[in-house]
Amino acid sequence: MSAVTATPAITAKPRTARQKPSFVGTGILIIGAVYCLIPVVWVFMASTKSTGGLFSTFTYAPGTNLWDNITTLSSYRGGLFWRWMLNTALYAGVGAGLSMVVSAMAGYALAKYRFRGRAALFNLLLAGVLVPGVILAVPQYLLFAKLGLTNTYWAVLLPSIISPYGIYLARIYVSAAVPDEVIEAARTDGAKDLKVFTSIVMPMMVPGLVTIFLFQFVAIWNNYLLPFVMLGNDKLFPVTVGLSGLLNQGSQQPALYSVVITGALLSILPLLALFLLLQRFWQVDLAAGAVK
């Protein structure tokens, strides 16, 4: 009986010890979330103010000029801002979609195929993750200038297709989520490699593909340097480069400052909507993992 009664005392201590790090971790996450949300809240409040109210006092109190700022922004040069938004959606949507497919194919090949130089190629990709994009901008510009593709949509789309980080994520996810037995069973049934990839591997990779797509979409949406270097026609600009040009004009036209802040707010909304739309795929994956 003594051995039986001693067991609860032994198991109770670790449970108490596990609750303390959880409380501390939750507190740290809350502080981090508040720290990240403060600038977003300020942008929303600042976009509701006039230019005079924007610079008079620093306060989070909302104003009443949100609709006027949106109207002024929409009327700027015949609605050029919305052209920038469409360009950004094109660059980010098409670039992230193609990057997701290429990353899935490359990650699957690196995870499930055995070929000479596979380890060296994967290490090269890891090195590519560490290379800042600012280093590649000028060589890419010189290359595209030789091909006559600068100042075109292709100058921003083509460099966005290859993502070393996306390939790395795809390779890790395939290794963990796609069993070799499933692939071998499909090949035994006569399925070709392309059929195995499209019908079996891709559906099993959906949560990983969503993650790759979202990361690449956000990276392209927020990209400034590459389109700034590649593009000279303001009708091809994404919203980052366009708003930066408006901000530079604010020294001569102070009324543009509130317009730029309103444009920054509107440029955030598609990212928030995309995250809310795609997060259900992560929830489904977590639930499946809990059932397993």
User: pLDDT for 1-41, tens place per residue?
Assistant: 444 444 444 444 444 444 555 678 888 889 988 898 888 88
| pLDDT greater than 90 at residue 153 | yes
Instruction: Please indicate whether residue 255 or residue 161 has the higher confidence score (pLDDT).
Output: 161
> Are residues 47 and 265 in contact, defined by beta-carbon separation less than 8 angstroms?
yes
> What is the token pair recorded at 6?
């001693």
Collect contacts of 234-239 with beta carbons under 8 A, ≥24 apart.
234/80, 235/80, 235/83, 236/87, 236/151, 236/152, 236/153, 237/84, 237/87, 238/84, 238/87, 238/88, 238/91, 238/156, 239/81, 239/84, 239/85, 239/87, 239/88, 239/263, 239/267
Residue found by looking up tokens 């992560």 in the block = 282
**CA 227, CA 141: separation in Å to the nearest integer?**
10
pLDDT confidence bin for 283, thresholds 50/70/90: low
> Per CATH, is 79-252 categorized as 2.40.40.20?
no
Report pLDDT digits (tens) over 97-136. Answer: 999 999 999 999 998 888 888 888 888 888 888 888 788 8
Count CB atoms within 10 A of the CB of residue 171.
Answer: 22
pLDDT at site 7: 44
Angle at 151 between CA 149 and CA 154, to 5 degrees: 50
Residue 288 CB-half CA count within 13 A: 11
Count CB atoms within 10 A of the CB of residue 73.
Answer: 24
**Residue-by-residue DSSP string for 259-276:** HHHHHHHHHHHHHHHHHH
pLDDT at site 290: 37
> What is the token pair recorded at 44?
């929303």
> Are residues 81 and 73 in contact, defined by beta-carbon separation less than 8 angstroms?
yes
How much is the average pLDDT of 158-171?
A: 91
What pTM did the predictor assign?
A: 0.82
Burial 244-267 (b: 16+ CB within 10 A, else e): eebbeeeeeeeebbbbbbbbbbbb
pLDDT at site 286: 42
